[in-house]
Structure 1
């Protein structure tokens, strides 16, 4: 990584609109909140000109890129207090950066289309609120590609790597454990097995790391941790944009939601 290149991140973004519910959750989100709040310090003086969020909450047959200068909100959750359907995260979009993302992807032979209507989903605004609470950094979202192929998403990351030298922070927003049918004590063993494998894999040299990611389904408790892998695929993009760089575990706890092991990673 050159001295001017920004790192990339895979962030476990937590559940629903949690940054607006801290009084309700008590200290349950303290560790995740602290890890997200620390990202600007990690970046130092290199405040990005924009953030590209690869969100687990958007899939398309061909990649789509949010291109609205003023993205609306998407309340893609259910069963939360009424006020959480009125919250706002008012960061601007960046049509210019969206066009650059499209240019890089199309140039690599990856079909990608601008979406002028797409708003911020909770995988974006719940992760970004603790990082930039003033909502003063433009955000562009990128969908996942249907089929959820790890190799395709690593290739997407590779195509986007030049953004790191252009002041754009690439964040893959998902969750390292995502089995909503066992989101608590029932999922504890599977989450700990998978998370231990994931952290060990991220500590390997980049080529070995990639080999593990491509074969992630062979990991201990892989399908128990991710019955459907959309919350893991943003990790592939973050890795792909930083395939020459080492990875660091920037957030880990063993008792998320009382029982689960979850992690986040920085590349570079």
Structure 2
């Protein structure tokens, strides 16, 4: 079995794949990048392990349900978006493997048989696997957001990659809902430039060290006043080990103001060597 890459994906806003109109169109480039993801894998994954920026617990937890429910963790959207389903199965076996690998590294992970798919998981996966035919297991963040703890968990779970499991950190490279317009252009671009340098240009050990001090980066606390949408990246970087990073999505002036990006960690196995880097700048 070939080693799967690891991804950190900007997942978009709310239940956007089920919407129409201008809000949906603002995620066109992101949607294209997500649809392109399966072609970048060496083979179809046996399961997806999703670390969502919308699930945090006092300690790490993993979903163990065979048929996960839905978590409609948003407000102000049309009524039909509170009835949508992403009917992918869970994988109790993969969940148990997560618990075992983490325990071997001295990291406790609780089992949660009730946790369903939040929008950081189902909105991200809908364009990638619209048939919902790949088992999905959710992994929580720890609510202290400690970068070292999340890097360590990612390292502990890296063997899953050789077992066919696709690890995805689902967050947003910029997440400040109070500054999500043209005023965000400078801070989001500044933080994004630092992030791209840290992930792509630095050697693996320095890349991990940069995650520990992320809050000292340019515009860090403007881009992430609360770092819940950045923390999934720490798990991804830990699981990536020494693998190189590639920017697979980058868009300037998303929704009129922000720069957003997504990354793949691992050797390029894409048949055409294709990566979607959408540098869309408003006229």
Give secondary structure in 1 for the equivalent of 2:25. coil
| 2:102 is aligned with 1:105 | yes
- The answer on 1:96 being equivalent to 2:87 is no
Mapped to 1, the partners of 2:181 and 2:246 lie a distance apart of: 26
Aligned residue among 59, 72, 77 for 1:75: 72
Partner of 1:8: 6
1:174 counterpart residue number:
171
Q: In the alignment, is the contact (CA less than 8 A) between 1:36 and 1:127 conserved in 2?
A: yes
The verdict on how the C-alpha distance between 1:96 and 1:26 changes in structure 2, with shifts beyond 3 A counting, is closer
The CA RMSD over aligned residues, in Å, is 1.1
Deviations 1:191-227 (A, max 9, x none): 1110111011111221221121111011000000000
* Structure-2-length-normalised TM-score: 0.92
SS in 1 for 2:102: helix
Contact 2:88–2:133 under 8 Å retained in 1 = yes
Counterpart CA distance in 2 for 1:104 and 1:207 is 22
Q: How does 1:151-170 map to 2 (within 5 A)?
A: 151-170=148-167
Q: Secondary structure at the match of 1:182?
A: coil
Tell me if structure 1 keeps the 8 A contact 2:65–2:114: yes
Structure 1 stretches of 4+ with a deviation exceeding 4 A read none
**Maintained 8 Å contact 1:11/1:174:** yes
Match of 1:202 in 2: 199
Superposition TM-score, scaled by structure 1 size: 0.97
Q: 1:187 aligns with which of 184, 188, 193?
A: 184
Unaligned stretches of 5+ in structure 2?
267-283
**1:66–1:98 Cα contact (<8 Å) kept:** yes
CA distance in 1, matches of 2:56, 2:115: 12
- Structure 2 residue aligned with 1:62: 59
- The equivalent residue for 1:234 is 232
3-state SS of paired residue (2:240): coil
- Structure 1 residue 25, shift from structure 2 partner: 2.9
**Deviations for 1:145-201, whole angstroms, at most 9, x for unmatched residues?**
121011110000000000000000000000000111111122221111101110111
